[in-house]
Amino acid sequence: MRMKNPPDSMQGEQVLLEVMTALTSSLDLKEVFSESYGILSRVLAADFGGLCVSRPGTPGQYDWPMVRDMPQAFFDRYPEISDECFVSFAVMQRPNTVLRDTEMLSRQEMWNSAMYSLCLEMDMRVERVMSVLLDMGLGWHSGFTLYRENRKAFSEQEQAFLQRLTPILARTVRNCLMLGDLVRQGDLLEQLFRHTGLESIVLSPPTTELMRTPRSTALLHRWFPDAPCGRFGLPLVLLDALEWLSRSGQRMLAGQDVLTFRRPGRSLKVTFLRLPAHPGRTPWALLFQEVFHGAQVPAEWRKRLTPRELDVVERVLNGWDNQTIAEDMGSSLNTLKTHLKRVFVKLAVPSRSKLILLAQERSAEVAG
């Protein structure tokens, strides 16, 4: 049983620096999280810990790249209780937010849970839990969880400390999953150039370009035809973002290293990845992901909806969330929701997902 007081502000900054250094030292997920867990378990007095990563296309199935002090039998039998796991159920509702067990369920409910019973069978007494779902909006997610075998609750200060680290943990998982396989295959830049399937530019700010894929220049010209450009022929909006990220280091919120640009029927996501440092330089990769949104507003819908409602539907079909639509249309979130409700009634659809599915089906019929 580990017992330690939470770090004060000076100690906390030092530990943050240690963890950030560990998380950016490699693109091997197991390696960086194992090293980071060693620091966090010491500071946060955790007895067990684990990192799981979802498998795209297979809901409820996870890989466990980092596990510490937990018996293999627990993971072999976890599928038996995965549907009743109070930890995953709670953090799924609030991604990128650190939760303590007391925010998930009552003590009595915890003692009656299938997970608690399984842990007792494994001779792994779990009395306290602190967990966070790491989600970068890329179709997969991961979960980082710390456990205590004693009944001393994780404190609000410890929760706040892990919350500060959450954007860094999320980006580390993303970077490792996107580029870790390439590192294992050989030279990172060569593999990035050949095998990601994305257009990319790798820079070593402020003056050096290391590589760019053949079609990246044409893509930038297509998306930013009239935008003012600076170094490397990059639009200033991208250079300004890169300069800000370089100054910020790891201390940024989730989502601040991703820019999304939208046009009718398509979008461009630009992800800024800080690569492992080399002597004398800290390279950054700009990954460009262009997405075409095929579903069009069916002709019969145009006869039944107002121009404002059509604007809403077009943006929904392009994959925009409510907040983005409201901001783009200059309306409040409540007004946007009212428009959506009227659309659902007029088109006799029960939900947003059904609206998108129906539009896709109608588009396929027209195309066929």
> Identical fold at 9-183 and 186-292?
yes
Residue type, 214: P
Structure confidence by residue, pLDDT tens digits, 37-77: 888 888 898 988 888 888 765 556 778 888 887 878 887 78
Q: CATH says 299-367 is which class? A: mainly alpha
Q: From start to end of the chain, where are the E strands? A: 48-54, 62-68, 99-100, 128-135, 141-148, 199-204, 208-212, 258-263, 266-274, 284-292
Per CATH, the architecture of 186-292 is what? 2-Layer Sandwich (3.30)
Do residues 76 and 36 lie in contact, with contact meaning Cβ atoms separated by under 8 Å? no
The pLDDT of residue 189: 56
Show pLDDT as tens, one digit a residue, over the chain (368 residues): 454 555 555 566 777 778 877 777 777 788 888 888 888 888 898 988 888 888 765 556 778 888 887 878 887 788 788 778 889 889 988 988 999 999 999 999 999 998 888 888 888 888 999 999 988 766 678 889 999 998 999 999 999 989 988 888 887 887 777 665 555 544 555 555 554 557 888 888 777 887 788 788 888 988 998 889 888 889 999 999 998 888 876 555 555 788 989 887 678 889 888 877 655 667 888 888 877 666 788 889 999 999 999 999 988 887 777 888 888 888 888 899 999 999 999 999 888 878 887 887 777 666 55
User: Which residues are paired to 145 by β-bridges?
Assistant: 50, 131
Give Cα separations from 80 to 110, 172, 294 (angstroms). Answer: 17, 30, 39
Q: For residue 270, give both structure tokens.
A: 């630009």
How far does Cα 183 stand from its chain's mean position?
21
How many helices (DSSP H) and strands (DSSP E) are in the chain?
15, 10
Identify whether 56 is preceded by a cis peptide bond (ω within 30 of 0): no
Alpha-carbon gap, residue 317 to 314, rounded angstroms = 5
Q: Where are the domains of the chain?
A: 9-183, 186-292, 299-367
Place of tokens 């297509």: 222
Return the number of other C-beta atoms located less than 10 Å from residue 308's C-beta.
14
Please give the CATH architecture assigned to the domain spanning 9-183.
2-Layer Sandwich (3.30)
